Structure 1
Amino acid sequence: MTQITLNIPDNELSFFMQLIEKFNYETVINEFSMTEEMKNLLDERRSTSKVDDFLPWDEAKKQLRFKSEK
């Protein structure tokens, strides 16, 4: 399987989707909406974060704890 990821500007998405549909490709859009409050919180966290506070993904995975199934 080949997977292609494209970054389509919001104002061009409708045109792009119409184009793809003409070629009989299956299109999937994951709808995810974020409130202005969520955006502001993420922007705040990004602006105050320090590179020294980050962990490599391999280390972070080791620290994840999952609830045991009962």
Structure 2
Amino acid sequence: MTQITLNIPDSELSFFMKLIEKFNYETVNNEFSATEEMKNMLDERRSTSKTDDFIPWNEAKTQLRFKSEK
């Protein structure tokens, strides 16, 4: 598999996202790191969550909405 990293100007992001939706792609963000507080909160949520409440990723990603650029 080939990976490509692109720097897209903010003014062109909306156009690019519409174009890229036509392809099979995976978004990767390597700039995120979780604090210990975040990790603890996630661990707590995992321990109290119920499998019945889970939504498959393919369904969940269709529910995501991005703020429109102004």
TM-score class, shorter: 0.3 to 0.5
Q: Greater Rg, structure 1 or structure 2?
A: 1
